[in-house]
Amino acid sequence: MLGPVILAASRSDRMRRLISAAPVTKQVVDRFIPGETVADIVPIIEDLTAKGLELTMDVVGEDITAPEQATAARDAYLALIDHLKALELGEKVEMSVKLSMFGQALDGGHELALANVRPVVEAAAAIGTTVTLDAEDHTTLDSMFAIHEELRKDFPQTGCVIQAYLFRTEADARRLAASGSRVRLVKGAYKEPAEVAYQQKHEIDKAYVRILRILMEGAGYPMIGSHDPRLIAIAQELAHKAGRKLDEYEFQMLYGIRSEEHLRLAAEGHRMRVYTAYGTDWYGYFMRRLAEKPANLRFFLRSMVSKG
């Protein structure tokens, strides 16, 4: 029951100020967001790729309030890509972006977000890699899918994320699978109403398997975004049944969560991509990680009390 409460707090400015300023928070945050600057993150990229892992990079930030912040978000990604160029890692390191950080919710936001994200997709393509559009709350998705379709006209490798908890997602998966797109399937991390989304874990898990089957049997490139051991085993089985080779799908997990499993899957010959977030505006991302696992919240609160 704690999850929805934490997700509601993730949208509260008061909580944001309180938690961001708490003296111990940064140490706890580091588990999930291992740096604030490109200079912090480059050694982590080098370390993980040397271990046979691939990465998708997220410069944290979302729900901005002014167009200048959207421009700054674009520039932060461009600076990252500039650093990646020197590392020559190609598609081993791709980018994940949240369109709300590129201005999607502002006046004229759809066009603004498209205008801001396009140069990032272009720069990524120029160094041999690509961009995946993250899925945010359900009200943003029609715009996200339209931007995805537009970008794919010039950059067909651009990926997007779909969320198993939404009723709409089976239909989205069929459309995307038929179009041959790269698609990351996740359970979904936002607080969504019962009119649009399954609320029970077992319903979400069942939907995940149905959608995974659509993606595996389709013409696209499935990216399995989950830490759930049962779903990972089912994904391997479905990939095998669909006759997919090891390089025709990939697993994705978040930095700091089940890290041993990242290495185990990579050692088995799977493509394993670690979603690695960095930057200073980490509040929303961090709160969603707390909401996913109550034990994280207990750890967080204990660390505050023990320092207090």
Ligand X SMILES: Cc1cc2nc3c(=O)[nH]c(=O)nc-3n(C[C@H](O)[C@H](O)[C@H](O)COP(=O)(O)OP(=O)(O)OC[C@H]3O[C@@H](n4cnc5c(N)ncnc54)[C@H](O)[C@@H]3O)c2cc1C
Which single residue is written with the structure tokens 């980018």? 95
The token pair at 9 is 């707090």
Query: Distance (Å, rounded) from C-alpha 19 to C-alpha 177?
Result: 41
CB of 132 to ligand X, least distance (A): 8
Contacts of 141 (CB under 8 A, 6+ apart): 135, 166, 168, 172
Q: Which amino acid is at 146?
A: A
Q: How far is the CB of 86 from ligand X (least distance, A)?
A: 25
Residue 69 and residue 284 in contact, taking contact as beta carbons nearer than 8 Å: no
Among 85, 174, 227, 244, binds ligand X (CB under 6 A): 227
Tell me: does residue 255 bind ligand X (CB under 6 A). no
Which residue of the set 118, 152, 182, 184 is catalytic? Answer: 184
The verdict on whether 273 is a catalytic residue reads no
Nearest to 187 by CA among 202, 205, 199, 160: 205
- Shortest distance, position 144 Cβ to ligand X, whole Å: 10
Q: Choose which of 54, 62, 94, 134 interacts with ligand X (CB under 6 A).
A: 134
Is 253 an interacting residue with respect to ligand X (CB under 6 A)? yes
Amino acid in position 26: K
- 288, 5 contact by CB (below 8 A): no
Per CB under 6 A, the list member of 53, 296, 297, 300 interacting with ligand X is 296
Q: How far apart are the first and last CA of the chain?
A: 26
The reply on whether position 275 binds ligand X by CB under 6 A is yes
Of the candidate residues 190, 249, 278, 300, the single one contacting ligand X (CB under 6 A): 190
**160 binding ligand X? (CB under 6 A):** no
Considering only the stretches 78-86, 144-152, 182-190, 232-240, report the one whose residues sit in contact with ligand X under the rule CB under 6 A. 182-190
Distance separating alpha carbons of residues 117 and 111, to the nearest angstrom: 10
Contact call for residue 228 and ligand X (CB under 6 A): yes
- Out of 252, 262, 278, 297, point to the residue binding ligand X (CB under 6 A): 252
Determine which one of 58, 134, 172, 205 is catalytic.
134
Catalytic annotation, residues: 134, 184
